[in-house]
Chains A and B, each alone.
Chain A
Amino acid sequence: MIHEKTILYIEDEKEIGDWVHQDLRERGYGVIWLTNGDRAVDEAASCQLAILDVMLPGLDGFTVGQRLKKQYPGLPILMLSARTSIDDKLQGLQFADDYLTKPFHPDELAARVEVLLRRSGAPSAEPLQLGHLLIYEKENIIKNRESGEEIVLTGKQFHIFQYLLRHLGQIMTKEQIFESVWGEPYLDGDKTLMVHIRHLREKLERDPASPEIIETIRGIGYRVRA
Chain B
Amino acid sequence: MKPYVKTKFRNSLLSRYLIIIGFALVLVPILIPVSFAASWGVNRLLFPPAPGTAETVRDYGSGLDLETMWHGEAQALGGKAPQAIDERLRQLKREYPDASLFWVDSAGQTRLQLPERSGLPAKWSAEDAIAYMKRAVNGDPFTIVAFIGSKKSPGNQGFMVFELPRAHMYKSSTERNGDSRFYGLFMFMMFAFFILISYLFFRDIRTRLLRLETGMARTGPNGLPVRIAEGRPDEIGRLEQAFNRMVDELGQSRQREREEEELRKNLIGNLSHDLRTPLTVLGGQLYSFRKEPLSEQGREVLALMEVKIKDLGTLIDHLLSYNLLSSGRYALNPEDRDVLRIVRVSAAAWYPLWEKAGIEADIDLPDEPLIWNVDEQGFRRVLDNLFQNLVRHARSGGYVGISLAERHGKPALVIADRGPGLGAVSPSKGAGLGLQIVDLLLREMNLCRETESTAERGTRTYIFTAAPSPLVK
Chain A residues with a Cβ under 8 A of chain B: 13, 15-16, 18-20, 22-23, 55, 82-90, 101-106, 170-176, 188-190, 217-221
Bound CA span A105–B330, Å = 28
For B361, the chain A residues whose CB sits under 8 A away are: 217-219
Q: In the complex, which of the residues A16, A175, A176, A218 contacts B363, with contact meaning CB atoms closer than 8 Å?
A: A218
Bound CA span A173–B338, Å = 13
Q: List 18 A-B contacts (CB under 8 A).
A: A19-B288, A84-B272, A86-B324, A88-B265, A101-B317, A103-B310, A105-B310, A171-B349, A173-B341, A173-B345, A173-B348, A174-B344, A190-B367, A217-B348, A218-B362, A219-B365, A220-B347, A220-B363
**B interface residue count range (under 10 / 10 to 19 / 20 to 34 / 35 or more):** 35 or more
Q: In the complex, which of the residues B273, B281, B321, B364 contacts A85, with contact meaning CB atoms closer than 8 Å?
A: B321
Bound CA span A150–B282, Å = 51
For A104, the chain B residues whose CB sits under 8 A away are: 280, 283
Residue of A nearest to B309 (CB): A103
Bound CA span A18–B281, Å = 10
Within 8 A of A (CB), among B200-227: none
Q: Across the interface, do B273 and A55 meet the contact criterion of CB distance under 8 Å?
A: yes
Given A173-B344, A220-B347: A102 and B313 interface contact (C-beta under 8 Å):
yes
Q: Across the interface, do A106 and B310 meet the contact criterion of CB distance under 8 Å?
A: no
Q: Across the interface, do B285 and A19 meet the contact criterion of CB distance under 8 Å?
A: yes
Q: Across the interface, do A219 and B281 meet the contact criterion of CB distance under 8 Å?
A: no
- Cβ of B374 within 8 Å of any chain A Cβ, yes or no, is no
For A55, the chain B residues whose CB sits under 8 A away are: 273
Write the B355-368 contact mask toward A (1 if CB under 8 angstroms, else 0): 00000011111011
For A190, the chain B residues whose CB sits under 8 A away are: 367
B85 → A minimal CB distance (Å): 132
Q: Across the interface, do A220 and B283 meet the contact criterion of CB distance under 8 Å?
A: no
For B437, the chain A residues whose CB sits under 8 A away are: 86
Given A16-B281, A82-B273, A220-B348: A88 and B367 interface contact (C-beta under 8 Å):
no
Q: Across the interface, do B281 and A82 meet the contact criterion of CB distance under 8 Å?
A: no
Q: In the complex, which of the residues B277, B285, B402 contacts A219, with contact meaning CB atoms closer than 8 Å?
A: B402
For B288, the chain A residues whose CB sits under 8 A away are: 19, 22
- Sort A-B residue pairs by CB-CB distance and give the 8 closest, nearest first: A219-B363, A19-B284, A171-B348, A86-B321, A82-B276, A189-B367, A103-B280, A82-B273
Q: Across the interface, do A103 and B279 meet the contact criterion of CB distance under 8 Å?
A: yes
Within 8 A of A (CB), among B420-448: 437
Other A-B contacts than A86-B381, A172-B348, 17 sampled, CB-CB below 8 A, are: A15-B284, A20-B284, A82-B272, A82-B273, A87-B265, A88-B330, A101-B276, A103-B279, A104-B283, A105-B287, A173-B341, A174-B344, A176-B345, A217-B363, A218-B363, A219-B347, A220-B344
Given A85-B317, A221-B344: A102 and B285 interface contact (C-beta under 8 Å):
no
Q: Across the interface, do B348 and A103 meet the contact criterion of CB distance under 8 Å?
A: no
Bound CA span A173–B349, Å = 10
Q: Across the interface, do A103 and B282 meet the contact criterion of CB distance under 8 Å?
A: yes
Q: Across the interface, do A86 and B330 meet the contact criterion of CB distance under 8 Å?
A: yes
Bound CA span A226–B459, Å = 34
For A23, the chain B residues whose CB sits under 8 A away are: 287
B43 → A minimal CB distance (Å): 89
Q: Across the interface, do A219 and B364 meet the contact criterion of CB distance under 8 Å?
A: yes
- Cβ of B320 within 8 Å of any chain A Cβ, yes or no, is yes
B319 → A minimal CB distance (Å): 9
For B348, the chain A residues whose CB sits under 8 A away are: 170-173, 217, 220-221
Bound CA span A173–B381, Å = 19
A119 → B minimal CB distance (Å): 15
Q: Across the interface, do B276 and A217 meet the contact criterion of CB distance under 8 Å?
A: no
- Cβ of B231 within 8 Å of any chain A Cβ, yes or no, is no
Q: Across the interface, do B280 and A82 meet the contact criterion of CB distance under 8 Å?
A: yes
Q: Across the interface, do A84 and B321 meet the contact criterion of CB distance under 8 Å?
A: yes
Q: Across the interface, do B269 and A84 meet the contact criterion of CB distance under 8 Å?
A: yes
Q: Across the interface, do A87 and B268 meet the contact criterion of CB distance under 8 Å?
A: yes
Q: Across the interface, do A83 and B272 meet the contact criterion of CB distance under 8 Å?
A: yes
Q: In the complex, which of the residues B269, B316, B365 contacts A87, with contact meaning CB atoms closer than 8 Å?
A: B269
B143 → A minimal CB distance (Å): 122
Q: In the complex, which of the residues B265, B281, B347 contacts A15, with contact meaning CB atoms closer than 8 Å?
A: B281
Within 8 A of A (CB), among B229-285: 265, 268-269, 272-273, 276-277, 279-285
Task: Pick the most buried of B283, B284, B348: most chain A CB atoms within 10 A of its CB.
Answer: B284
A10 → B minimal CB distance (Å): 15
A45 → B minimal CB distance (Å): 29
Given A84-B321, A101-B317, A105-B310: A217 and B272 interface contact (C-beta under 8 Å):
no
Bound CA span A62–B377, Å = 19
Residue of A nearest to B274 (CB): A82
Given A19-B287, A82-B272, A105-B283: A13 and B277 interface contact (C-beta under 8 Å):
yes
